[in-house]
Every structure is written in structure tokens, then in C-alpha cells.
């Protein structure tokens, strides 16, 4: 219902699968922290490449612009990110194609991590930057094609509902992780 265009073996499905496998590897390799439900140890997240502005700036660890996209702090964080990206990502991938979607997803993630590293010195991880990039691109699509979508009210309404639901999910993610 929330992912009417979802396809197995799509890029968004593969990304979700990779993120889930990386999370299982985090827990297997580093153990479970009791700070929240199935939380990964912070030292393991740093070892695996979370966003650490100090290491990015002064140790020139450029790979940390990509790896945080695939890391997640706990099960709630993973599930909310995967559900969000499957919900909005499957629709966008269907609209723009798999390779364009992958480029949009990765560039949104890298850009969000870069912006976050410049504005905040805290360590973080997760696909939220990519998901917010997808939300932003969908909002831009809605604004640019507003007049075209007037004759397709069902499509316009579904995009608005997707965007509102994704933003609500984003707020819930932020509240759960904080």
C-alpha cells in the first residue's frame, strides 16, 4: 500500500538489503550496546566509518563521506530509515530510473554528510541524509510539475501524501535517535 511501485531487485531494495547486512555485521563484530534496542557499540561505528568531523578534517578520511549512509546506530534507526527509503525511494526509482536514482541517493547522502560535518562536530550515521535528499527531490518535482499534475490529481495527491508521511517519519526518527 505504501510502496505501490516496489520491485524486488530494484536499487532501493538492494540498498536496504546492504544496510541491513551492514547492521547485522556491526552487531556481530562489536556486540550489542544496552543503550537502546539492539544498539551497536559506538567504537564499532567509528571503526566502520561513521561521520566523525575530526577524522574527516584532520586525518583526511574521505571515505567517511560515504560509509555513514550504510551504518545505523540501533534497530529503530535502521527500520525507520529502511521503511522511509523503501516508501519514497521505490516511487522515485520508478519515475527516474535505477541509475539516476542511485546517483541521486548517493549524492544526497554525501552532500548531507558534508553539510553536517561542516555545521556540527558530533559523530553520526544513517541513511537520513539520503532520504531527506529524496524527499527534497520529490518536493522539487511536485513544485516544478504543479500545473501538469493539475490534470492528474490522483498522482499529485499521492505525492503530497508521500511527502507528508516521509516528513512525519523523519521527525519520528529524529525523536527516537535523540
DSSP 94-117: HHH-HHHHHHHHHHHHHHHHHHHH
Domains of the chain, earliest start first:
11-177 (1.20.1540)
Q: Is residue 150 pLDDT above 60, yes or no?
A: yes
The average pLDDT across 150-168 equals 84
What are 99-124's pLDDT values in tens digits? 999 999 999 999 999 999 999 999 99
Would you say residue 176 has pLDDT above 70?
Answer: no
Handedness of CA 178, 120, 26, 90 (dihedral sign): positive
| Reported pTM | 0.88
Residue 13 has what pLDDT?
93
Q: Residue range 49-74: average pLDDT? A: 96
Q: What Rg value do the Cα atoms of the chain yield, rounded?
A: 17
| pLDDT > 80? residue 174 | no
Mean pLDDT (the chain) is 89
Which grid coordinates are listed for 2?
505504501
Q: What would the pLDDT profile of 11-21 be if each residue is shown by its tens digit?
A: 999 999 999 99
Do 77 and 152 touch, CB atoms closer than 8 A?
no
Amino acid at each position: 500500500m505504501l510502496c505501490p511501485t516496489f520491485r524486488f531487485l530494484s536499487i532501493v531494495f538492494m540498498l536496504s538489503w546492504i544496510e541491513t547486512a551492514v547492521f547485522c555485521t556491526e552487531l556481530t563484530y562489536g556486540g550489542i550496546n544496552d543503550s537502546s534496542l539492539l544498539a551497536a557499540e559506538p567504537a564499532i561505528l567509528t571503526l566502520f566509518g561513521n561521520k566523525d568531523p575530526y577524522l574527516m578534517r584532520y586525518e583526511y578520511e574521505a571515505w567517511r563521506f560515504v560509509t555513514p549512509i550504510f551504518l545505523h546506530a540501533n534497530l529503530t534507526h535502521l527500520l525507520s530509515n529502511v521503511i522511509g527509503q523503501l516508501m519514497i525511494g521505490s516511487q522515485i526509482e520508478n519515475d527516474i530510473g535505477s541509475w539516476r536514482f542511485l546517483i541521486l541517493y548517493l549524492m544526497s547522502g554525501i552532500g548531507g554528510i558534508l553539510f553536517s560535518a561542516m555545521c556540527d562536530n558530533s559523530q553520526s550515521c544513517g541513511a537520513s541524509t539520503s532520504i531527506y535528499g529524496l524527499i527534497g527531490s520529490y518536493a522539487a518535482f511536485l513544485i516544478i510539475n504543479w500545473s501538469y499534475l493539475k490534470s492528474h490529481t490522483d498522482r499529485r495527491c499521492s505525492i503530497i501524501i508521500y511527502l507528508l508521511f516521509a516528513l512525519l517519519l523523519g521527525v519520528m526518527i529524529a525523536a527516537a535517535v535523540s
